[in-house]
Structure 1
Amino acid sequence: MAEPSIIPYWRSCVVIRKISIGLFCVFFFVTLTACKLGVSHEPAPETVKNASTGFSNKALTIAVFEGAYGKSYWEEVVKRFEADYPGVRVNIIANPKIMDVIKPMNIAGNPPDFLYAPFTESTNMVRSMIGSRSFMDLTGLFDSPALGQDVPLKGIMMDGILDYARPYGDGKVYMAPNYVTTEGLWYNKALFKEKGWSPPRTWDEFWALGEAASTEGIALFTYPGVYPGYIGSMLWSSIASESGVAGVEAIMNYEKGSFGTPEVKRVLELFEKMADSGALMPGTVALNHTQAQSEFLKNKALFIPNGSWLEGEMKDISRAEGFEFGFLLTPTFEPDDPQFARISFEAMFIPEKAKNKELAMEFIKYQYRDDIIRLNAEKSTGVIAVRSGAELAKDSLPASVYDSATVFERGVQPFLFEWRVTPPTPFSINDEVFNPINTVMKGDMSVDQWIDHVEKTFARLRDLLDKVK
């Protein structure tokens, strides 16, 4: 059963919130540190000696998703943890399909002690486990002291991030935020310099650029057709720019007609135009994320929607000579329209039936130590959601990720998009919204049909919600 959301109604109505630019500069300077490899590791001044004293169970099993951030960080942090906690032995399970791997363990009532997996993993098991309250309450963990500091763990976290770690509306924290990112469009800055092109601010400039690129044999746009949810990196920010915060909140809450307003329809028609004008890179709908991104790196398309993990994820993939990642905010219809950028985070969990919760909590705390945050940036190109993240990893900032952060200093508004929670459903709301994009791109579905499909899905979800009132 798929869970459409992990975010409850009490918060979904205010998920796009007014937070000071200063706080979001902190957030995104943290994100900036994600993507440069090879930084020398500094010795940890707060290394704990004989820290395992008091842990009766010194065996810890951790399960981690091996995705864009890889697994080398987890392998190294396990070595550090075992060295700092003498006698502790950590069994690490890392796999791109980690939820499939641990499913038999969960069914047998013997889950791992610690889990890192993104909310968007393909099985929807993380969302389902949240929906069935299968994870441990971590409120006490965040109230307890941070390692090596005289403040509670929650006191070192990025401002406001724990608000998004309370899925049930009871004020309790059930997930530990780690990787943070910003999303938008990405392009090759070197190619633009070579051709004398300027990044587009408006959609008219976007289309004009597509015409110029077509004379060079380059498509305007591509995306991972096998995973069309990547379009969310630009769709929601486009709708926010056109319809305002209220329009996006209405969609998040499945309000009747919210996906078919004139403002939203205007945005959806951009994709129809992309198909009709031949701007889409041929073969896009059959490509997975790695394939689409690889073609993008070869200058087969000017733009691809993605997050700030992209440069690190593709670090070992061949590309056009001199390729230079660039970040672009989603264009707007008018040059003075407000611009938005979607932000997101991933999380760590402790299953409710874990055998060694005590040591698992210590392992989570360990992730927030200064030296470990540096290690994370070095090994995974990821960065943790703490206030000091920018300073700790500032030497790891690639230009593209820096650009994705500094937009918030120029009045761009950050937001998180999360669906209102519903009872379990046999479908995924993200699939219902994004899968039709491929059909639209192939010319087999109109925007009106896309809207009708989503509105019918919204009606089903409203009916479910009415039954549990």
Structure 2
Amino acid sequence: MSTVDRRTLLRVALAAPAVAALASCAKPVVEKSAPAPALGAKVDGSKPLEFFNFDGGYGKKWTEMPLDLYRKEFPQANVKLTSGQQLQQQLQPRFIQGNPPDLIENVGLDGAALAAKKQVMDIGALLDMEAFDQPGVKVRDTLLPGVAEHGVYDGVKYEMPYVIGTGGIWFSQKLLDEHGWTYPKTWPEMLALCAEIKKSTKIAPWTYQGKYPGYLTSPMLMTAYKAAGPELKKKVDNLEPNAWRDPALIQAAEGYQELAAKGYLLEGSQAIDHKQSQASWAKGQAVFIPCGGWLENESGQDAPKDFAMTMMPVPGWSASDKAPFETLTGGPGGALIVPAQAKNPQGGLELLRIMISKKCMQNFASLTNSPVVVKGGTDGVKLTHAAESMQKAISAAGSNMFNDWQFRIWYKKLLDSSDKAMAALMNREVTPDEWSKQMQKYADETAKDPSIKKFHA
């Protein structure tokens, strides 16, 4: 994983990570979009094709099948795979020079800015094309609910997700069972369990990816969301005055800072990266860690075979919460994009059609232990304990699932500022109230900056 983790992308989320339609409700009028590829337009099979793969938690082995299928369909084409983690540094110069790859797995580039500047193509026509491996069936009819609507800015579809992602708090079910611990449903209960763990064992209650503090921002915001309800998220995403001064956010910040204040974190957590923290956790040095669904794919090799890697929803605050404990961030995630200045955009669109075929999505699910965006995408795929726990959490959430907080997707500068603020909070350089004021300042600056395109939830 790079500094932009997959929970933003789930987009985590995650993910961004995450995941409802990104900006389908955005209001401003912008310049004309790059034209959609003509429906059924012929691919020039002699043209070279380049796919840029984000070589992170999902790796690149999954790309072999779709690239081979493209080569089989167009044997004269020189098909090239390039990979990396620092997309901003690697691809921004190529966008400026007018020679970007033909298809990009975008984890790191500012998707909203690319859409606003029309540097990516309208791929809406793909939805009405015939599915690659299902004759007579349109692509849109092979997709799970919400997927076709995802990656839409100002009514135009620029991004195609490929995973159904989610995130939460991870632990070893075997470890909890051995000690008779029960996963807590509220944050005060979590802190009480942390006290018990610290007192009775030599295991750290928590660790997190301190070098990339957004990993901890995600659960902290979720705890606040559960306490205050959906209206809080709407106010924050819409950059409303004093949204960050909400008592639920300050309360959550107080609760999460307690992890550092009371010595519940694995020593040095604030300064270590995702690989170090996740490996330490998988080796049993800490009980809990926040992460998206790619955790097993990145760190499963470090855990014992009987670890029983398990994900559960983020704890709420109390019995009077306005959103249920089962609430998750998640849904369609990831972003496959076709640059407007690509040398072979029609080829890029065709490779995208292949990638989201049922056959390729089943292959992706099998290799990454991740749910995918097509119907039947996990049919015949034997899920691991970790993947099963995510599926159970998604099923239990039902309609109580939403995309990562939109401000983290729409406003990259504000996202980066929130990471800095979270680091300061966990290093105890600011109080929770000061953190809240700082975040409000960052949000107000974003709202007042005329150069930043605004969206509305």
Alignment TM-score, normalising by the size of structure 1? 0.82
1:330 aligns with 2:314: yes
Q: 2:237 aligns with which of 252, 258, 265?
A: 252
CA distance in 1, matches of 2:67, 2:339: 19
What's the CA shift for 1:154? 1.6
Within-5 A mapping of 1:255-270 = 255-270=240-255
Given that 2:127 and 2:148 are in contact with CA atoms closer than 8 Å, whether structure 1 keeps it comes out as no
The more displaced of 410-419 and 225-234 is: 410-419
Other structure's SS at 2:334 match:
strand
Q: Which runs of 5+ in 1 are unaligned?
A: 13-50
> What's 1:10 paired with?
25
1:79 aligns with 2:68: yes
Q: 2:264 aligns with which of 275, 279, 284?
A: 279
Q: 1:192 aligns with which of 172, 176, 194?
A: 176
Q: 1:65 aligns with which of 24, 30, 54?
A: 54
CA distance in 2, matches of 1:296, 1:104: 38
Other structure's SS at 1:62 match:
strand
- Give the aligned residue type for 2:136: D
What's the CA shift for 1:251? 0.8
Given that 2:173 and 2:310 are in contact with CA atoms closer than 8 Å, whether structure 1 keeps it comes out as yes
Structure 1 438/162 Cα, relative in aligned 2: closer, same or farther at 3 Å?
A: same
* Aligned residue pair count: 419
C-alpha RMSD of the superposition: 2.9
Other structure's SS at 2:318 match:
coil
> What's 2:396 paired with?
410
What's the CA shift for 1:380? 3.6
Other structure's SS at 2:437 match:
helix
Within-5 A mapping of 1:294-443 = 294-316=279-301, 318-319=302-303, 322-335=306-319, 337=321, 338-339=324-325, 340-344=327-331, 345-391=333-379, 394-411=380-397, 413-419=400-406, 428-443=413-428
CA distance in 2, matches of 1:302, 1:95: 31
- Give the aligned residue type for 2:126: L
Structure 1 439/98 Cα, relative in aligned 2: closer, same or farther at 3 Å?
A: closer
What's the CA shift for 1:421? 9.4
What's the CA shift for 1:100? 2.5
- Give the aligned residue type for 1:319: A
> What's 1:164 paired with?
150
CA distance in 1, matches of 2:248, 2:72: 57
CA distance in 2, matches of 1:395, 1:381: 9
- Give the aligned residue type for 1:94: S
> What's 1:19 paired with?
none
What's the CA shift for 1:114? 0.9
Given that 1:9 and 1:420 are in contact with CA atoms closer than 8 Å, whether structure 2 keeps it comes out as no
The more displaced of 377-386 and 326-335 is: 377-386
Cα deviation per residue 1:404-457 (whole Å; 9 max; x = unaligned)?
A: 22234435611113435999x8x7211222322222222221011101111111
1:100 aligns with 2:89: yes
CA distance in 2, matches of 1:232, 1:8: 22
- Give the aligned residue type for 1:279: Y
Cα deviation per residue 1:113-172 (whole Å; 9 max; x = unaligned)?
A: 111122xx2xx45454233220011011212222233132122122122322111x2x22
What's the CA shift for 1:175? 0.9
CA distance in 2, matches of 1:321, 1:388: 28
Structure 1 324/468 Cα, relative in aligned 2: closer, same or farther at 3 Å?
A: closer
Alignment TM-score, normalising by the size of structure 2? 0.84
Q: Which runs of 4+ in 1 moved over 6 A?
A: 2-6, 466-469
Other structure's SS at 1:183 match:
strand
Given that 1:52 and 1:58 are in contact with CA atoms closer than 8 Å, whether structure 2 keeps it comes out as no
Other structure's SS at 1:456 match:
helix
> What's 1:146 paired with?
131
1:209 aligns with 2:196: no
CA distance in 1, matches of 2:451, 2:95: 31
Structure 1 131/283 Cα, relative in aligned 2: closer, same or farther at 3 Å?
A: farther
CA distance in 2, matches of 1:359, 1:150: 21
- Give the aligned residue type for 1:355: K
What's the CA shift for 1:465? 5.6
> What's 2:203 paired with?
218
- Give the aligned residue type for 2:389: D
Structure 1 450/84 Cα, relative in aligned 2: closer, same or farther at 3 Å?
A: same
Structure 1 192/54 Cα, relative in aligned 2: closer, same or farther at 3 Å?
A: closer
What's the CA shift for 1:364? 0.7
> What's 1:39 paired with?
none
CA distance in 2, matches of 1:300, 1:363: 43
> What's 1:111 paired with?
100
The percent of aligned pairs where both chains have the same amino acid is 22
Given that 1:7 and 1:420 are in contact with CA atoms closer than 8 Å, whether structure 2 keeps it comes out as no
Other structure's SS at 2:92 match:
helix
The more displaced of 355-364 and 89-98 is: 89-98
> What's 1:23 paired with?
none
Other structure's SS at 1:200 match:
coil
Q: Greater relative contact order (Cα 8 A, min sep 6): structure 1 or 2?
A: 1
